[in-house]
Amino acid sequence: MRPFGELEADVMRVLWAAADDGPVTIHTITDALNTEGRNLAYTTVMTVTERLRAKGWLTREKVSRSFRYSALRTADDYSAQLMTEALDSSADRAGALLRFAGRLDAAEAAALRQALDALPGDDAAERPGAGS
């Protein structure tokens, strides 16, 4: 998976932010993007949105004479996929993970520790470095 381009990422941010409100139209997406100081054409946003749908990131439903779009995957799914691919490209996954973990602030490290401890079937005592 290639990372999103700038406009793709912006469209996805609009859709992720609107997730609780339900599917949105191209007009809604265009208006949200243009409030950020842009002047994007409806057709440009429609093209990018359709490309994201073709890539499997969006779904659409016909409502009256227009389509409404919603994200199929979350922002967290996207970030996790990018992180997995970065690790897959590393010759030393453990080393890359350690460098990543070393860059976390205290709250992020605590959240990661809690998430690891909550993994099913995981025995913290068996993990390297546990208890240190």
CATH code: domain of residue 61: 1.10.10.10
| 36 part of a folded domain | yes
Same domain, 87 and 45: no
Q: Which residues pair with 61 in a beta bridge?
A: 68
Packing angle of the helix pair 6-17, 26-34 (nearest 10 deg):
110
Q: How confident is the model over 18-43, as pLDDT tens digits?
A: 999 999 999 999 999 998 788 999 99
Q: Report the predicted TM-score, pTM, of the whole model to 2 decimal places.
A: 0.77
38 shares its domain with 82: no
* Domain termination residue (choose one: 51, 71, 91): 71
Assess whether 67 and 80 both reside in one domain: no
37-88 pLDDT, tens digit per residue, is 889 999 999 999 999 999 999 999 999 999 999 999 999 999 999 999 999 9
Same-domain pairing of 23 and 49: yes
Give the integer Cα–Cα distance in Å for 16 and 115. Answer: 23
First to last CA, the chain: 36
Residues of the domain holding 55 = 6-71
The answer as to whether 129 is a domain residue is: no
Count of domains for the chain: 2
Residue 32 forms part of a structural domain:
yes
